[in-house]
Amino acid sequence: MTNKKPIELKDVTLESGVKIKPVYGPDDIKAIDSDADIGKPGEYPFTRGIHPFMYRQRPWTMRQYSGFGTAKETNERFKWLLEHGQTALNVAFDLPTQLGLDSDDPFAEEEVGRVGMAIDTLKDLEEAFEGIPIDRISTSLTINPVASVLLAMYLAVAEKQGIPMDKVRGTTQNDILKEYIGRGTWIFPVQPSIRLIGDMTEFCAQKVPRFNPFSVCGYHIRESGATPVQEMAYAFEIAIAYIEEILGRGLKIDDFAGRIAFNFDIHGNLWEQVAKFRAGRRLWAKIIKERFGAENPRSMVLRMIAGGGGGGLTVQQPENNIVRGAYYALISALSGTQTMALCSYDEAYTIPSKKAALISLRTMQILADEMGLTDTVDPLGGSYYIEWLTSELERRIVETMQQVEDFGGMVKAVETGYIQREVSHQAYIREKKIQSGEIVKVGVNKYVMDEEMGEVEFHPFNPEVVGRQKKSIAEIKASRDGSEVDAALSALKKAAQTDENVMPHLLRAVKAYATLGEITSVFKDVFGEFKEPVGL
Amino acid sequence: MYNSANLGILEKDKPMDAKRIRVVIAKPGLDGHDTGAKVVAHALKDAGMEVIYTGLHRNIEDIVKTAVEEDADVIGMSIYSGAHLPLSKKLMEQLEQKNISGKVVLIGGNIPKKDIATLKEFGVDEIFSTGSKLDDIIGFIKDRCERIS
């Protein structure tokens, strides 16, 4: 007999810190109860999916982020996407709009129309949705600190199209807590910002029942460096902070929980992502049922858009991102997400070009129509590895949530910068692992090629947009009823100073063509501004 | 909001060491993508430098003021929104107008290759766009600061 060399296998540890064995079997899932823990799709605890037949009944919604310079350009792109089979719209606003600044604000100048469309008054949103029947599409507005103003504008556009409020469908991103952690478009301090989310949710629960007033974004937290477990845990703690605000107004959990939406990220290890979503569905159902006492099963489901994250894409060898996008879409489908959005291959550089956006859309369509991903529900369910990993990640998500609660909850954790530090520390660790090659990124630290970078087609920035917007603001200010604007803004201020719901006053102000900047100034006067805790 | 001195000073309580390189990491304008800036700040701090991170939504005046007050050797600005040309130009103009010399100026973020020459014409010392190696940034700063001092 010859001496056999022992087989040496490399260690595998997921980003969330879980060590992975080379083989899983029945012993690994002994503790899992197949009825109570896994259950049937469409039934509590929804581990396998939130609908009984999932994609067999209706494929995922395909939604790509779009929005350019002016309302007119945006309108043309919307119509083009709808003509090509996209089923919902996702609107990008420029940074001044996202931060409540008018296009004629000196601090806005370099950014007007750059990363999305500029909205100064209701007129801009009217133009963006001209000829688009907004009762027949579902629109997602990527806007946070001034989401209440944009919701008011959107409802005003609907009214002008003759569509009653209770027929309006859509989502405002409106997740301010994650802005302090990741995306950086914050204006007001934490507490009044959460109050605005409460006002919107209360108003929607009463008058706009088909609208999702906020979408909690683990996505940006993950993009900012968090692990998949932190992504899920922090998103849930954020959602809990909003829920507590809304419950404090006397609403019942079942009055609004069914409209809570989530936005999650996909990049990295395939199995870790799939298990993350399955664990997230199960845990969220338990939280809503057990902690908040919901009775309606529709309140307990984790409704989500999951997208191929820009963070996984590379500037190097950009065409490789098309392939990554296809795998992210596959992960999204295997995870049972309701809505899918993919970052386009040029997204590491810029907002997507038309060609790149179309490739992303086709990627999702190929998956739905050619590959059998819609045939059967949760095809990975029952796998020893996936079921074990689902339970392991759930345990770790609970543990991370507990750390936040021990700190005093998400509001305090964000006000003091605790979460921001945790996430930026994790980003640094991840970057070091990429630079050392411990985390492999093809084209970046493995299979590197000498290449001419920056050949990607850029969406051109149009410097004329700022001039056009300024002119439009001047014209509107000259022609609107100034006394109605003043009256609406002072009524808004009064409401903001008390605990009166600001939504009816916002509707009045936007219909009078008050500018976004004027409205935001009222809130700044009353609420003040956020002071960023900037330690590392 | 944009003019307040809402600055977090890292390692502020430590006695000032004359040999330590002082770096201001800044986020100008409205862009909120601060992950890259924070990662670089962490790395420079680990490499023994004093790092002052400005936080978000700073205007160029604030950044120049901070760099002067902090006696920074290096100003690193991180920009992802596409506004790197006008913002960098403004920074260089202000440094010149205020007769501030001897500061190494670095630009990071989403910077297309075709803009690198223009940025250098403005007087930017080096560009470290997405995907740059942390060791390269550290090495460049150490090399340049040795030459200045």
The answer to whether B8 contacts A316, with C-beta atoms less than 8 Å apart, is no
DSSP B51: E
> Has residue A332 got a pLDDT over 90?
yes
Question: How large is the average pLDDT for residues A366-377?
Answer: 95
Regarding predicted confidence, which is higher, A323 or B80?
A323
> Has residue A459 got a pLDDT over 70?
no
Q: Measured between alpha carbons, how far is A316 from A305 in angstroms, rounded to an integer?
A: 27
CATH code assigned at A168: 3.20.20.240
Q: Considering CB atoms only, which of B7, B42, B113 is closest to A454?
A: B113
The answer to the question of residue A136 being in a domain is yes
pLDDT tens profile A169-218: 999 999 999 999 998 999 999 999 999 999 999 999 999 999 999 999 99
Q: Measured between alpha carbons, how far is B66 from B69 in angstroms, rounded to an integer?
A: 5
Positions in chain B whose pLDDT score sits under 70: 1-18, 147-149
> Is the CA virtual torsion A402, A205, A65, A343 positive or negative?
positive
Q: Measured between alpha carbons, how far is A270 from A252 in angstroms, rounded to an integer?
A: 37
pLDDT of A348 reads 64
Tally of domains in chain A: 1
Chain B residues closer than 8 Å to A114 by CB: 81-83
Chain A residues closer than 8 Å to B38 by CB: 424, 427-428, 536
Question: How large is the average pLDDT for residues A242-256?
Answer: 96
Distance of CA B121 to the CA centre of its chain: 17
pLDDT of B5 reads 36
8 A C-beta contact, residue A52 and residue A40: yes
- Quick one: chain A helix, strand, coil %, rounded to 5? 50, 10, 40
> Helix, strand or coil for residue B22?
strand
Kindly report which listed range (A81-85, A102-106, A324-328) carries the lowest average pLDDT score. Answer: A81-85
Q: Considering CB atoms only, which of A101, A435, A529 is closest to B134?
A: A435
Structural tokens at position A248: 């404090």
Mean of the per-residue pLDDT values for chain A?
Answer: 92
- Angstrom CA distances, A471 to A104, A118, A512, A519, A536, stand at 9, 13, 18, 19, 43
The answer to the question of residue A465 being in a domain is no
Q: Which of A176, A221, A115, A520 is nearest to B30 (CA)?
A: A115
Question: How large is the average pLDDT for residues A156-166?
Answer: 96
pLDDT tens profile A115-140: 889 999 999 999 999 999 888 888 88
Question: How large is the average pLDDT for residues A439-447?
Answer: 93
Confidence of residue A68 (pLDDT cuts 50, 70, 90): low
pLDDT of B13 reads 43
The answer to the question of residue A464 being in a domain is no
Chain A residues closer than 8 Å to B51 by CB: 536
Beta bridge partners of A171: A140, A212
Chain A residues closer than 8 Å to B59 by CB: 107
The answer to the question of residue A234 being in a domain is yes
pLDDT of A219 reads 95
The shortest C-alpha distance from B102 to chain A (Å) reads 27
> Has residue A506 got a pLDDT over 60?
yes
Question: How large is the average pLDDT for residues A413-431?
Answer: 95
Print the domain residue range for A107.
26-436
The answer to whether B112 contacts A348, with C-beta atoms less than 8 Å apart, is no
The answer to the question of residue A503 being in a domain is no
Q: Considering CB atoms only, which of A107, A314, A536 is closest to B45?
A: A536
Q: Which residue has the tokens 């600190």?
A: A145
The answer to the question of residue A449 being in a domain is no
Q: Considering CB atoms only, which of B30, B54, B134 is closest to A99?
A: B30
The answer to whether A111 contacts B29, with C-beta atoms less than 8 Å apart, is yes
The answer to whether B113 contacts A435, with C-beta atoms less than 8 Å apart, is no
Burial class (CB in 10 A: 0-12, 13-18, 19+), A286: middle
The answer to whether A348 contacts B56, with C-beta atoms less than 8 Å apart, is no
The answer to the question of residue A356 being in a domain is yes
The answer to the question of residue A336 being in a domain is yes
What are the residue ranges of helices labelled H in A287-319?
none
Other Cβ atoms less than 10 A from the Cβ of A76: the count is: 13
What domains, with CATH codes, occur in chain B? 21-148 (3.40.50.280)
pLDDT of A536 reads 75
pLDDT of A69 reads 64
- Angstrom CA distances, A478 to A227, A475, A481, A489, stand at 51, 5, 9, 17
